Amino acid sequence: MAFAWSGVCKVYNYLSAGLISPSQATDIPWGHFDFSTRKPEVATLTLEWYTLSQYAVNDTYRQLAEGAARRIASQSAPLPGLPAQGIDPSSGKSVGGYVTWGGGSDSYFEYLIKYARLNPDADDLFTDNWRLAVDSSIATLLKISSVGKHAYFADYDGSKQIRHVGSHLACFYGGNLIFGGRILNNDTIVNVGLQLTDACWNTYASTATGIGPEVFAFTSDDGGYTGGDVPTAEQSAFNALHGFYITSADYILRPEVLESNFYAWRATGDTKYVARAASALKSFDQYLSTNGAYAGIWDVNDNNVSDDQNRINDMENVFNTEAHPFKLSAPKSQYGSGAQPTPAATSTFKMNQGQTPEVSQIAGMPSIKDSIQGVISKVGQTVLQ
């Protein structure tokens, strides 16, 4: 986690020493540690690093994580409150115009409202930008499947077309809307969250194993464009029965669908959500259990292969994206400014073309790959001695 920010910390040191200008610095961390590609997942550390700052009595961590979120929230976006998925860490600017609640963007939306609830000193930017993202999504991305009337947040691509796709990762959005809607006392948002939760559970209830797929697609009254291949006859037949069809059938131990059902249960008290969890656990035991652990499966549609609410109270804790609880302070009387949220950016969104760079382009900064190779060499020499 700290490695993602190592380049940013070096930039701050270079700034302090006068070796680079402010225009060369950004707030954006590197997202991956594979040393070949680094598409950043921005604003995915605000909960963790705010809490780290509290325990370490060092506000640097909060400032770094919060700065990345602020950078994204202040930029122009393809849709109000919905920034483009790609970000170039070397410039801090968006790349492309793809909008999704799925992987690469999910934690940004998730943490906006959770950070506002966790940090009592967080300003209105976080709540207001989350509310703007939700309002914009309901207005533009919310689609109802032609079969089954299931509610999904679709994707939106750089050519301004709706892509009728969904994913297990994106299925956190139901719980996120329930969580945020309760904070804002907004029943409309909560009810949309419940609809999204039910639709995502349908991806579990419809497969042979009772486990949901990694990626799926659907059709609605405005069509079924996905940006990919047209559905096969088998996929079309599945869609006619279930209101979606599978495009990537694997399951790799994702929690998002059950996470949203957890929030739905706590918000409504309806035991159907508990029954869903029990059903999923039964499927996990049957299809995923190995000697001492659980494993993923390649095809969820191939079946050949406690009720203690006081244990962790969701109104007293906020969960990060890995389901780790963070203890909350007393709630504020109001979250957000109370006014109708508007985009923070004053300029019109302009889609930037190109690829995100592998490493920082600032001259004179050491290569991450070279730094790691040096460590490996030292370890090897020590072992040989």
> Both tokens of residue 318?
């906020």
Residues 41, 48, 66, 214: which is the catalytic one? Answer: 214
Neighbours of 357 (CB within 10 A): 14
Q: Cα separation of 244 and 235, whole Å?
A: 8
Q: Which residues contact 189 (CB under 8 A, 6 or more apart)?
A: 134, 177, 180, 181
Q: Which long-range contacts (CB under 8 A, 24 or more apart) does 181-190 make?
A: 182/267, 183/113, 183/116, 183/117, 183/127, 183/331, 183/335, 184/127, 184/131, 184/335, 184/336, 189/134, 190/267
Distances (CA, A) of 220 to 153, 188, 228, 355: 12, 22, 16, 32
* Partners of residue 325 on adjacent β-strands: 319
For 297-334, the DSSP string reads BS-TT-------TTSS-TTTEEE-TT--EEE--PPPS-
* Partners of residue 327 on adjacent β-strands: 317
Instruction: Residue 67: name the closest of 119, 29, 19, 17 by CA.
Output: 29
DSSP tag of 159 = T
Q: Which residues contact 207 (CB under 8 A, 6 or more apart)?
A: 213, 246, 300, 301
Q: What are phi and psi of 159, to 5 degrees?
A: -95, 15
214 in catalytic set: yes
Instruction: Residue 80: name the closest of 130, 10, 145, 143 by CA.
Output: 130
Tell me the catalytic residues: 214
